[in-house]
Amino acid sequence: MIWYLFVPLAPYLLWLLWAAAFHPLPLTYNWRSIWQRWAGTLSTVGAIAIVVMVFVVVLSMAQGVSKAYVRSGRDDQVIIMRQNARVEMMSSLSLAQARLILTHPLIARDGVGPLATEDIIVSKQVALADGSGAMSVTVRGTTPAGIRMRSQVRMLQGRWFIPGLSEAVVPQKMLNRYTGVELGRSFAMAGRSWKVVGIFDGDGSVYDSEIWTEVGDLRQAFRRYGNDSSMAVRLRSAADVPSFIRDMEQDVRLKLEAKPEPAYFADLGDAGRPMQVLGQIITLILTVGAVFAAMNTMYATVAGRTPEIGTLRALGFRRREILASFQWEAILLTALGGLAGAGLSLLFNGIRTGTVNMNTWSDVSYAFSVTPDLMAQGVGFSILMGIAGGFLPAWRASRIPVTEAMRS
Amino acid sequence: MDDVSVRLRNLAKSYWRGSLEIPVLTGIDLEIPRGGYYALMGPSGSGKTTLLNLIAGIDRPSGGELEVCGHSLNGLNDDELAGWRSRNVGFIFQNYNLVPVLNAYENVELPLLLQDLGRAERRERVLHALSLVNLTDRMRNYPRQLSGGQEQRVAIARAIVHDPELIVADEPTGALDAKNAEEALILLEHLNQELGKTIVLVTHDPKAASHARFQIHLEKGVLDRTVEVHDRPVLPRLLT
Amino acid sequence: MRFLTLVLRSLFRSKRRTFLTVLSLSVSVFLIALLQSLLGTMDALTTSTGSGTRFVVQDKASFTNVIPQAYTNFLRQQPEVERFTVLQWFGGEYKDPKNFFANFGVDPESYLQVYREEANLPSIPLEQVRDFLRDGNGCMVGRALADKFGWKVGDVVPLKSSIFNLTVRLNIRIIFAGLRKSDEMVLAFNIKQLQEAVPWMKGRVGAITVRAKNPADIPRLCERIDHHFANSAQETLSITENAFNLNMMKLLGDYSTMVHSISAAVLVAILIVTANTMAMAIRERTTQISTMRALGFRSGQILSLLMAEGLLLSLLGSGLGIALAMGVASAAAKVAGQIIPWMADFIITPETLLLCVLITLALGLLSTFIPAYRASRRPITEGLRAL
């Protein structure tokens, strides 16, 4: 994204690279000059570091949200819902439809049986651990096949639920944010008491935000006989997905909507989108401010080194060499801030928190995901700031008449 | 009223570099009468500027007594000293030290802002001071729009606008060419003779020193000798 | 005051530097003002006009679940209840899923009563009210919404639900002018249409909004209602409308944390930038400051002059930033208000203005104090030597 901003600058950048390569004024000269006026340098580096850090951290949140969803799907699995349902929670399937789907020949089997699960999705208010209230959490009633199909889910502590006993399992990652759902405790839902018998890990997938229980128990508790939410199936191969989907949509007895899991989760992953847009707008605005600050510092540098520029010019350095030298100095300065900001943002990497998915209106847990790509984008931004903030001062430096420069 | 402007008794000043004491002035005894015109002379490092700073109350002695314009400066705190300066001392610097963002008029007005004067009275005094240095026509100009000689004349106007008893000048001709230097010296002479100001100046320019009535020679921080100047040059009178 | 000229001229001594710093500052204050006001505006929406006297009865497990309409029988028996109405979120889309706006199935007559402030009931012509109540396919829409799509009374609006497998065709009977723009971005129609067309909605509603005679009774009422349904198949959760809204806002709580953290980070950044500018401005004036002190200015006077300069700098920056934010906010309210209902009420909130004043003071004082203090205490003779 931000790399496109470099495209119109390409000729100038190439020229700068060329100038650096065949430069009579080495970059070490600029490096030392940067530290000559260290107070100005540190203030600019600090301000730019903060801007870059804000950029990387906000985008790492957005990235973290979509990552939770990307991790959840498999290419060869399909989610089947009522038409227009969009999310599992809003969907409903009849018993007859479910039976019919199960007979489809493309559905894969393992040693135990067909890899297909009918799930019921409801939501429940769970108290936040910090005492600030409660949030809507997804509760999924599922089947043994459902557990086998979601291979990223691993039992860490305790055991899976036994049908008929109103038992539930809770993701480990939910425990530091919520209370009342710890192993061994019971919570109330739909007029029953549910006991937490196991703690599982969803490997960063969306299942890390769901409480799981047995579908039959949930069906009884919510009196949803013959009215499950959705079905997920695994097919023999990913290549079978299009034809299976066609069957689901066109069979007159079904008329259902089927989506490959990756597509379904990608849609849900849009929850991180507003954050991403907000992050980008904020960064754009802040970048403008940072450019002014960098410009200030560079003008001060040029002013402070005017006699030196005069001397260099008197020695035979040309205007364009002065321009390149100061432009490089500005880029060095801001890139230093960019690197510092990217480094600082690493402090946030892996912090786990939650937000609300506006599609499902329930909590999704995610971790800040500071990737090398995001950090590179942050540094890229800082280089742009250096080019924008350094050009005018560098241009001015290259235009100072020799005699005037020597005099001051 | 005492007719002595500056009275120094066993005055000493030393600096500390770490635990090492470096004496700059020792055992200075000096009296300068009201209306005196004294030049402090000596090689660099002899302590003449330090002595001037002490007399002007912008530096503090390490020992001895210091009485200037009828006040003992020893017991004053920083703010009292500042108030004392604003009433009793006019400063002239080698590099003029005008405030660059203020024009000639405002620069001259600056010392008056420290006193409880109305706008009209300030104006009257500023115009009077500017007319003494013959710069009324340049009063709206900023320092960078003035020549060195004009800048120094503004500075002299600033030094006298609040009617101080004592004027201290540190190398007032150091940055001026011969013609402008002479003009500045004429002005000082005039301030001394016509207005009765006590003038103490530091200089190593023998020509400037020759205008003073007495030359005080310092050598390595002690008073070497005081010489009365007998054949002072006769200057044309620029001012009336 | 007599030193104002000196302060002003000193501030603009290096015009480019001051200008760049002011711009840098104003951009940051602009961002903070906008972000904080965004939060503030969303927050203000949770306290709507009639909401103090209302509460919502919904399914305890999730407000996306439905509850039996028969629950209203119990509510009718409660003496503290003034009126109640039933609602179901329809999630209807007009022509394109992007045309998002709030639309509900409601009980028309009681809805008008319960939300009489928001709909500004007295201002609706009587014949419009009569038509709305008579027409089973009738609906009422807010002025802002009607303007957005160019609807007039009598128009037919097809709505395709994203929740129910259903499309309804509604006749516009009322176009009301609400007290706030965001209250006008709503469409309400008779819930019977929904209950008749969708089998599992028969006798069920999404929520019941209750209007109490006295707000003081609400906590007691909520408790009694929830207790009554505690042993039924579907437990209820009764919360005041403000609390309900707050719950929704809580969902956006992450955004508020994010906005506050970003604001804090930006503040640190501009503090650094401003402090650097002031340090530069003071450093290059060392001789001038010492000269002024030699002339008799006291350290305290010098310090105040420099601080005044710093304050003025930050005042210029934040002033420009706030002005910019106000302009953008009112433009955003006009443009984005068409798409996102609550954006129509977007303003720079008084709290934000107060915050900006505090930021200005803090920035001006903090950025200047250290260099100014040092300059004002520096030995005069040292400063005169540093040419």
DSSP three-state, residue C62 = coil
Distance (Å) from the C-alpha of residue C29 to the closest C-alpha of chain B? 29
Q: Rounded distance, CA C204 to CA C88, Å?
A: 9
Say whether pLDDT at B175 is over 50. yes
Right CATH for B35-58+86-228 from 3.40.50.300, 3.40.30.10, 2.40.10.340, 3.40.1390.10: 3.40.50.300
Which of A254-268, C292-306, C323-337 has the largest mean confidence? C292-306
pLDDT band at A2 (very low <50, low <70, confident <90, very high): confident
Q: Rounded distance, CA C366 to CA C386, Å?
A: 26
Q: What is the rounded average pLDDT for all residues in chain A?
A: 87
pLDDT for B157 equals 95
Lowest mean pLDDT of A149-153, A266-270, C82-86, C191-195, name the range.
A266-270
How do strand C81-89 and strand C207-212 relate by DSSP bridges? antiparallel
Ranges of H-type helices in chain B: 48-56, 78-88, 104-109, 119-132, 148-160, 178-193, 206-209
What ranges do the domains of chain A cover? 2-69+271-407, 77-236
pLDDT for A373 equals 92
pLDDT for C249 equals 56
What average pLDDT does range A36-49 have in this prediction? 87
pLDDT for A334 equals 94
Distance (Å) from the C-alpha of residue C8 to the closest C-alpha of chain B? 9
Q: Rounded distance, CA A269 to CA A369, Å?
A: 14
State the Rg of chain B over Cα.
18
Q: Rounded distance, CA C278 to CA A340, Å?
A: 24
pLDDT band at A13 (very low <50, low <70, confident <90, very high): confident
DSSP three-state, residue C195 = helix
pLDDT for A350 equals 85
pLDDT for A222 equals 78
- From chain B residues 37-56, the ones with a CB under 8 A of any chain C CB are 50, 53, 56
Q: What is the rounded average pLDDT for all residues in chain C?
A: 85
pLDDT in tens, C31-46: 999 888 888 777 666 5
pLDDT for C45 equals 63
- Interchain contact, A51 vs C270, CB within 8 Å: no
B to C CB pairs, distance under 8 Å: 70
pLDDT band at C325 (very low <50, low <70, confident <90, very high): very high
Count of all residues that appear for chain C in the document: 387
pLDDT band at B19 (very low <50, low <70, confident <90, very high): confident
Lowest mean pLDDT of A242-246, A311-315, C276-280, name the range.
A311-315
Say whether pLDDT at A54 is over 60. yes
- Interchain contact, B101 vs C291, CB within 8 Å: no
pLDDT for A333 equals 92
User: pTM (2 decimals)?
Assistant: 0.75
- Interchain contact, A295 vs C65, CB within 8 Å: no
- Interchain contact, A296 vs C255, CB within 8 Å: no
Ranges of H-type helices in A305-401: 306-315, 319-345, 372-399
The shortest CB-CB distance from B82 to any of C3, C297, C384 is to C297
Say whether pLDDT at C387 is over 60. no
Residue among C348, C78, C346 at smallest CA distance from C223: C78
DSSP at B33? E
DSSP three-state, residue C167 = strand
pLDDT band at C95 (very low <50, low <70, confident <90, very high): confident
* B106 touching chain C per CB within 8 A: yes
How do strand A77-81 and strand A230-234 relate by DSSP bridges? antiparallel
The shortest CB-CB distance from C165 to any of A44, A83, A124 is to A83
- Encoding tokens for residue C264? 């804090």
Which amino acid, one-letter code, is at C303? L
pLDDT in tens, C283-312: 889 999 999 999 999 999 999 999 999 999
pLDDT for B238 equals 53
- Interchain contact, C262 vs A282, CB within 8 Å: yes
Q: Is C146 within 8 Å of C152 (Cβ atoms)?
A: yes
- Interchain contact, A58 vs C265, CB within 8 Å: no
Say whether pLDDT at B132 is over 80. yes
Q: Is B163 within 8 Å of B89 (Cβ atoms)?
A: no
Say whether pLDDT at A270 is over 80. no
Specify which residues B28 forms β-bridges with.
B11
- Interchain contact, A355 vs C254, CB within 8 Å: yes
Distance (Å) from the C-alpha of residue A69 to the closest C-alpha of chain C? 19
Q: Is B212 within 8 Å of B226 (Cβ atoms)?
A: no
Say whether pLDDT at A213 is over 70. yes
* B67 touching chain C per CB within 8 A: no
How do strand A192-201 and strand A186-189 relate by DSSP bridges? antiparallel
Of residues B126 and C347, more confidently modeled: B126
pLDDT for C339 equals 64
DSSP three-state, residue C198 = coil
Say whether pLDDT at C321 is over 50. yes
- Interchain contact, A125 vs C60, CB within 8 Å: yes
pLDDT in tens, C173-208: 999 988 777 788 889 999 998 888 888 888 889 899
**Does A touch C (3+ CB pairs < 8 Å)?**
yes
Phi, psi (deg, nearest 5) at residue B167: -120, 125
Q: Which residue of A92, A286, A297 to mutate against C (max C Cβ within 10 Å)?
A: A286
∠ CA A62-A64-A67, nearest 5°, is 110
Count of all residues that appear for chain B in the document: 240
Distance (Å) from the C-alpha of residue C15 to the closest C-alpha of chain B? 12
The ipTM of this complex is 0.89
How do strand A210-214 and strand A257-260 relate by DSSP bridges? unpaired
* A122 touching chain C per CB within 8 A: yes
The shortest CB-CB distance from C163 to any of A90, A285, A288 is to A90
A373, with CB counted inside 10 A (0-12, 13-18, 19+), is exposed
Q: State the chains in contact with B (3 or more Cβ–Cβ pairs under 8 Å).
A: C
Q: Rounded distance, CA A51 to CA C272, Å?
A: 12
* A111 touching chain C per CB within 8 A: no
The shortest CB-CB distance from B106 to any of C5, C13, C379 is to C5
DSSP three-state, residue A370 = coil
* A38 touching chain C per CB within 8 A: no
Q: Is A265 within 8 Å of A68 (Cβ atoms)?
A: no
* B15 touching chain C per CB within 8 A: no
- Interchain contact, B82 vs C299, CB within 8 Å: yes
Phi, psi (deg, nearest 5) at residue A219: -60, -45
pLDDT for B240 equals 43
Q: Is A370 within 8 Å of A57 (Cβ atoms)?
A: yes
What average pLDDT does range B5-26 have in this prediction? 90
pLDDT in tens, A191-200: 789 999 999 9
What is the helix (H) or strand (E) element at residue C240, kind and residue range? strand C236-240
pLDDT for A400 equals 85
What ranges do the domains of chain B cover? 35-58+86-228
What average pLDDT does range B26-52 have in this prediction? 92
Residue linked to tokens 């850090």: A53
pLDDT in tens, A148-190: 999 999 999 999 999 999 999 999 988 888 888 999 999 988 7
* B76 touching chain C per CB within 8 A: no
pLDDT band at C376 (very low <50, low <70, confident <90, very high): very high
∠ CA B206-B212-B214, nearest 5°, is 100
Of residues A371 and C247, more confidently modeled: A371
Chain B positions in Cβ-Cβ contact with residue C384 (cut-off 8 Å): 58, 93, 97
Say whether pLDDT at C386 is over 50. yes
What average pLDDT does range A323-345 have in this prediction? 93
**Does B touch A (3+ CB pairs < 8 Å)?**
no
Q: Is B154 within 8 Å of B108 (Cβ atoms)?
A: yes
Q: Is A387 within 8 Å of A330 (Cβ atoms)?
A: yes
- Cα dist. C25→A134, A285, A330, C319, C353 in Å? 39, 11, 20, 10, 16
Say whether pLDDT at A27 is over 80. no
The shortest CB-CB distance from C381 to any of B59, B97, B110 is to B59
Which of A29-33, B64-68, C243-247 has the largest mean confidence? B64-68
